[in-house]
A and B are shown apart, each in its own frame.
Chain A
Amino acid sequence: MKFGVITFPGSNCDQDMIYVLESTMGYKVERLWHKEADLKGVDFVILPGGFSFGDYLRSGAIANYSPIMNEVQKHAAKGGYVMGICNGFQILCESKLLPGTLLHNNNQKFTCKNVFLKADNNSSIVNQGISTDDILKIPIAHAEGRYFAPEDTLSKIVHNDQVSYRYCDVDGNITDESNPNGSLENIAGVCNEGRNVFGIMPHPERAADLTLGNTDGLKIFESMLGLVGA
């Protein structure tokens, strides 16, 4: 598997993502620049977190018009893997590669803290290797992370098992108190119908290093690479 991480102007989690894939997991990673219309033959494209173009407009709204996004669209249409984390998720929603959108947190504040998640099902590569009883501690860091979709879209993605992860409490209960931003049905991550495009608001790359005392996020990458069984 060859990964590519896109850097948009204002991306600030690109190097963290590259570090996990390259230094921790030992995979080849291509650095992709938003102005280039070339994915350099990668199998898996990652859109990292950050504040693309400053996010002064709607998060992700301008990044969607970067030249590389045409290539990402084509890659996804051919069934190629694409994953967006945080700002990457916002960009993928803007580009309609993923259903729904991400609104301002209901507390109207940027919030950075550890939260708990669990896989909703095992139907895609981002959660295939993770038991739905596993509780993962993974940080969030966003001001616009409240997942929203119209009722019909929501019922469709729930029905289709396109909800990958939900926020829960330390014991795994999906409650209002454990929902850090007001997301519909505690949704933290979704995928497209084809199960090749994924978005997640929490940052698994920030929980993938023993030096930092938390490796729960590594499980998500291991799941993606088929390194673990459910």
Chain B
Amino acid sequence: METTENHLAEASLETAMELGLLKEEFELIIEILGRTPNFTEVSIYSVMWSEHCSYKNSIKWLKTLPKEGPHMLAEAGEENAGLVDIGDGLACAFKIESHNHPSALEPYQGAATGVGGINRDIFTMGARPIAQLNSLRFGNIELDRTKWLVKGVVKGIGDYGNSFGIPVVGGELFFDECYNTNPLVNAMSAGIMKTGGMISATSYGLGNPVFIVGSSTGKDGIHGAAFASKDIHEDSMEDLPAVQVGDPFQEKLLLEASLELTEIDAIIGMQDMGAAGITCSTSEMSGKEGFGMIIDLDKVPCRQEGMLPFEILLSESQERMLVVVKKGREAEVEAIFDKWDLNCKQIGEVTEGGRLEYFAKGIKVANVPAESLILGGGAPVYEREYKEPAYYQENKKFSIDSVEEPKDLRAVAKFLWTHPNIASKKWVMEQYDSMVGTINMSTNRPTDAGVVNIKGTDKALVFTVDCNARYVHADPEKGCAIAVAEAARNIVCSGGEPSAITNCLNFGNPYNPEVYWQFVGAIKGMSAACLKFKTPVTGGNVSFYNQSAQSGVDVPVFPTPTIGMMGIMPSKKNITTLAFQAEGDLIYLLGGAKNDINSSEYLYAYHKEKNSPAPYFDLDTEYELQDTLKSLIKKGLTVSAHDCADGGLFMTLMESAMPNNLGFEVSTDANFRKDAYLFGEAQSRVVVSVKAENKEKFETLAKEVGFTNLGSVKGKAMRIDGESFGTVAAAKDEFDSALENYLIKNN
């Protein structure tokens, strides 16, 4: 039987390796401690040095990302989330995180706790969450497993977020068979606080009491961080206890209580308990300032009797925080948590000397230096080899001439508007509360990015999540630059100015050199684009090991560096909808057309051509386009703006037509293949509508980046070169119901 006592015995290398440590890591622990660690201590190192907590295989490259910006109040890695000054005495904290592995096994709880975790990162800093976004990727939609995952994940996100009460203002949904076993569930949250009101994740001051607040600690999620740091395989269901269970009601109480704490100046620091629970929060808070803690594990409120010390230390039970209180102010803190009927229990105190000493039943069960556990401290850092995969050169051989232009482009259009990657996400979005908080300005005025009102100011914030992983797979460097550019474009189209990004880097196994090549390329592309758009990286998360062993072969997911971007709209009157507004308005394509169908949904899904380069993209051209569009919007010359993305120009036009049921009559350009003109996904293009009386002013300003007068808003049908592609209303019905038909009705 496992007991506290036998966990005091020296652990073997074999045990350490079973917990995921490498031989050299075990030796390093012995060197740090000057003795062989016991089982509890090895458990502590195994989670803290897991990929998930230590970023040991990614940090070298992450450090090359641009972190500095004029408005940064907390840079990447300094706090739980980045913090950006947005003016008016306010700051915005925002971050995106993955919950891929838990969602693959238990989609409902996996996704729900992902939402809970990312929100705690925001409010533990003292910011009130105001907006949620999510980026979801699943396998082939025809598979029953995919349908089960989609329904579970969406319900999990909805049930947690709806109860917690923060609006979902944007998201992504994408299907490809590379995600069959391993879906990607990335959740983003943004919050605002008064500048200067930030609570740090820190601990100092000899004798200051350490409290655990929120939910009781149970046996859920033990070794969750270690589980997230290995491949998903056939036996992964055995890891089910590593998945946590969420309680949004506790989270809501914890939110309100935590924010009340910010008003009384009685605390030193606070850190939420996510991966590796008490272990991670005590070590990260202590390691920063060189202090230590003594913690009495018997005082931790537990859900069941007889939990062993390592279980209490590693439990990932949700909705908990560690709070270091100024000595003498304990009663004020306790009163707040009492008001909200939450646990608030002193479990230890701050010590000098930087050691974490954990006690149970009066016995010291572990004694480790805090700094040795953490990223930026003693946690290992590795350089990984990388190698260009053969497919990359293969992709370059693709020529549009090898694809015959279909005779019936109307059939292609219909194929695209009913394709699950392009069709309306309404079935998903309506299960999320998008309006609580009465700040979502995009509800009645659809926009490319979510626009969020900051009550009491002239400002709004603008948020989006973007990543076309097909492009990143085709060309990691260019594809990831496109992801940043598209996010910025969505913000600019909505009337905002890009400000900063957070990233969620979903990749395969980092020990696979070809996967690591994708990772390095993506980081390089992201750096270049972020420098160009002056959008520093404020933080985020890395999720490796997203792949599955299928019939004995490891298949990594598409490299998916999801970009979450925040923008500022200095004046709310600049909000620009994507929807056509009135018959007679002129329709322009801003930016140049290209004879390019590379990596388009059209090429990939309709022609089933999987190998082609990333679509046309030039960073400087993109920047100029966005700069010009910003001026046009500020001068009030655009009625609507919508970027060309999945499905190309045609889908952009259709999406602008649908909200107000306004048709269009446009012409294509004989210098381009018509399929490329309509369905190609060359970047740096935006469709705008303009009042006829502003024609000259618009064209004068727009000529800097090039434009094409496509036609005008007219009638109820979609007419291209005189040919009807159907009525807007009929196409909308199919566009709106396609996803539900796949997920529900075809069953």
Contacts and interface: CB of A to CB of B under 8 A. Distances in A.
Contact of A111 (B164, B430, B444, B572): B430
Given A9-B340, A10-B249, A10-B252, A212 B440 contact: yes
A53 interface: yes
A35 B340 CA distance: 10
Interface stretch (B155-163, B211-219, B634-642, B685-693): B155-163
A53 B248 CA distance: 10
B631 interface: no
Given A12-B164, A12-B165, A141-B162, A111 B249 contact: no
B445 interface: yes
B248 A51 contact: yes
Closest 8 CB pairs of A and B: A12-B165, A54-B249, A213-B444, A51-B163, A16-B438, A141-B433, A112-B433, A206-B435
A213 B249 contact: no
B422 to A, nearest CB: 21
Given A51-B248, A54-B248, A109-B431, A213 B445 contact: yes
Interface string A207-218: 011011110000
A87 to B, nearest CB: 10
Contacts of A55: 163, 249
Q: Is the interface of A mostly helix, strand, loop or mixed?
A: mixed
B443 A211 contact: no
A114 interface: yes
Nearest to B445: A213
Interface of B: 155, 158-159, 162-165, 247-250, 252-253, 339-341, 430-441, 443-445, 453, 455, 572
B443 A203 contact: no
Contact of A50 (B165, B341, B439): B165
Q: Name, among A12, A13, A16, A50, the residue most crowded by chain B CB atoms within 10 Å (CB to CB).
A: A12
B441 A110 contact: no
A52 to B, nearest CB: 9
A139 interface: yes
Interface in A53-106: 53-56
Contacts of B248: 51, 54
B258 to A, nearest CB: 14
29 contacts: A9-B253, A12-B164, A13-B165, A16-B437, A19-B438, A20-B438, A49-B436, A51-B248, A54-B163, A109-B431, A110-B431, A110-B432, A111-B430, A112-B431, A112-B432, A112-B435, A139-B435, A141-B162, A141-B433, A143-B162, A203-B435, A206-B436, A206-B438, A209-B438, A211-B453, A212-B440, A212-B443, A212-B444, A213-B445
Nearest to B429: A112
A18 B158 CA distance: 25
A205 interface: yes
A182 B443 CA distance: 24
B340 A139 contact: no
Q: Name, among A10, A113, A203, A209, the residue most crowded by chain B CB atoms within 10 Å (CB to CB).
A: A10
Contacts of B453: 209, 211-212
Nearest to A15: B437
Contact of A211 (B340, B435, B441): B441
Q: What is the interface residue range for chain A against chain B?
A: 35 or more
Given A9-B341, A109-B431, A209-B438, 19 more contacts: A10-B163, A12-B165, A19-B455, A51-B162, A54-B248, A55-B249, A109-B430, A110-B159, A110-B433, A111-B431, A112-B431, A112-B432, A112-B433, A113-B430, A114-B443, A114-B444, A141-B436, A212-B441, A212-B453
A15 B436 CA distance: 10
Nearest to B577: A213
A9 B340 CA distance: 7
Contacts of B436: 12-13, 16, 49, 141, 206
B252 A110 contact: no
Contacts of A50: 163, 165
Contact of B438 (A9, A113, A143, A205): A205
Contacts of B439: 212
A35 B339 CA distance: 9
Contacts of A16: 436-438
A160 B165 CA distance: 36
A19 B155 CA distance: 30
A60 to B, nearest CB: 14
Contacts of B437: 15-16
A22 to B, nearest CB: 11
Contacts of B249: 9-10, 51, 53-56
A40 B131 CA distance: 33
A208 B249 CA distance: 27
A213 B164 CA distance: 25
Contacts of B163: 10, 12, 50-51, 54-55
Nearest to A213: B444
A10 B439 CA distance: 19
Interface in A109-149: 109-114, 139, 141, 143
Contacts of A54: 163, 247-250
Given A19-B438, A54-B247, A139-B435, A213 B443 contact: yes
Q: Name, among B341, B431, B435, B453, the residue most crowded by chain A CB atoms within 10 Å (CB to CB).
A: B435
A63 B47 CA distance: 41
A77 B433 CA distance: 34
A207 B591 CA distance: 37
Contacts of A212: 438-441, 443-444, 453
B430 A112 contact: yes
A143 B431 CA distance: 9
A211 B433 contact: no
Contacts of A143: 162
A12 B165 CA distance: 5
Q: Name, among A49, A110, A113, the residue most crowded by chain B CB atoms within 10 Å (CB to CB).
A: A110
Contacts of A139: 435, 443
A49 B252 CA distance: 14
Interface in A1-60: 9-10, 12-13, 15-16, 19-20, 23, 35, 49-51, 53-56
A15 B431 CA distance: 22
A61 to B, nearest CB: 14
A141 B435 contact: yes
Contact of B572 (A9, A112, A113, A211): A211
